[in-house]
Amino acid sequence: MSSGVYIHIPFCARKCAYCDFNSYDNLDSLMEPYTQRLISEIKSGLPKDYDTVFLGGGTPTALPLPLLLEIVDAVFKEGCEFSVEANPATIDFEGFAVLKAAGVNRISLGLQSAQDSELKILGRIHSYSDFLSTYKAARRAGFDNINVDLMFSIPNQTVRSWADTLYKVVSLKPEHISCYSLIIEDTTPFSRMELSLPSEDEDREMYMYCAEFLKKNGYNHYEISNFAKDGFECRHNLKYWERKEYRGFGAGAHSFYNGARYENSRDVSEYISDNKVTKTILTQKDAENEYIFLGLRKTDGICLSEYKSLFGHDFTEKYYSAIKKYADFCEIRGGRFYLNLNGISISNTIICDFLE
């Protein structure tokens, strides 16, 4: 089975007020040494067999194009799904054309909202019209596999403004749409601000609305937050949910192989000068818990025969009482156990009862 490759770029044009990812807007002087360190890590650690590459961040397109290209060239391999996260207003047609020629075949654009007032609250550097120019430039450059990231439960957002955002995005016909409920992370400016946030009921209404609207418009709901046209599911992200092996490169990047998880130094300067890799060996119980909570994120859930062959016992026997408790929220069909839409919408609560 082929691995995935993840490459982390920890630079952004400006830090968004809600974001706790390992990304910085004041480390531009480290872009060059970071790229060189990253390329040497890639050269020494690239697995023999891989079929997906995901260049994420941060904002990969915050790097000057020649540095970004060096990284793409270091990892390019024929036949891979090769995704690059690109932020609106940080790349133009020429940039996309160069990435396309270098072998990138999937672009993920972070729009978040089609309402300029909401983009402003989030601290984004772009307007909706900037996004439209970037999206069209990617199409003109020949990208036929584009994802758009959106968020709901944004401060001051209403079900109506969310519906309008979805309508506008669907009209553009991207192949893939991700919809995340905004999480107020502890360390971010949002956690210290008085925000007018949608209620839990509104959050659920927004989620249900988007699941139904996107389904009606031909998108398969294949993971809690991810929707794709037929055949455009993100093969790289599926590896995470299916516990397939992957190697991560760059500051704070994670890897999973040979039954262990690894994490690079999160600090960008430390990563450049002396990367320390932390290794965690997983017990059988860890592996089983991971298999369940990752698998149940997908709408086709987990394969019961694979579970039995991996862990040596029957899932439906072991979790008989939890399955009974959540009978209205789950299904067993075609040799698989999965949550239905109502179950997926409260998956955090349900999944706890399926873990040891």
Contact residues: ligand SAM, CB under 6 A: 18-19, 21, 57-59, 85, 87, 110, 112, 149, 151, 180, 182-183, 185
Using CB distances below 5 to 8 A depending on partner kind, what does residue 182 bind out of ligand SAM, ligand SF4, none?
A: ligand SAM
Least Å distance, CB 78 to ligand SAM, is 27
CA distance 331 to 151: 28
- Give 340-344 contacts, CB < 8 A, sequence gap 24+: 341/208, 341/211, 341/221, 344/211, 344/224, 344/299
Using CB distances below 5 to 8 A depending on partner kind, what does residue 121 bind out of ligand SAM, ligand SF4, none?
A: none
Q: State which residue, 3 or 83, has the beta carbon closest to ligand SAM.
A: 83
Sign, Cα dihedral of 298, 304, 310, 314: positive
Using CB distances below 5 to 8 A depending on partner kind, what does residue 15 bind out of ligand SAM, ligand SF4, none?
A: ligand SF4
Q: Of the ranges 54-62, 173-181, 188-196, 198-206, which one interacts with ligand SF4 (CB under 6 A)?
A: 54-62
59 binds ligand SF4 (CB under 6 A): yes
Strands 81-86 and 50-57: parallel
Contact between 347 and 296 under an 8 Å Cβ cutoff? The reply is yes
Least Å distance, CB 356 to ligand SAM, is 28
16 binds ligand SF4 (CB under 6 A): yes
* 7 closest CA partner among 77, 85, 62: 85
- HEC profile of 67-87: HHHHHHHHHCCCCCEEEEEEC
Helix, strand or coil, per DSSP, at residue 155: coil
Contact between 290 and 311 under an 8 Å Cβ cutoff? The reply is no
Q: State which residue, 187 or 258, has the beta carbon closest to ligand SAM.
A: 187
Least Å distance, CB 28 to ligand SAM, is 15
Q: State which residue, 19 or 346, has the beta carbon closest to ligand SF4.
A: 19
Question: Which residues make up the interface to ligand SF4 (CB under 6 A)?
Answer: 12, 15-16, 19, 21, 23, 57-59, 87, 110
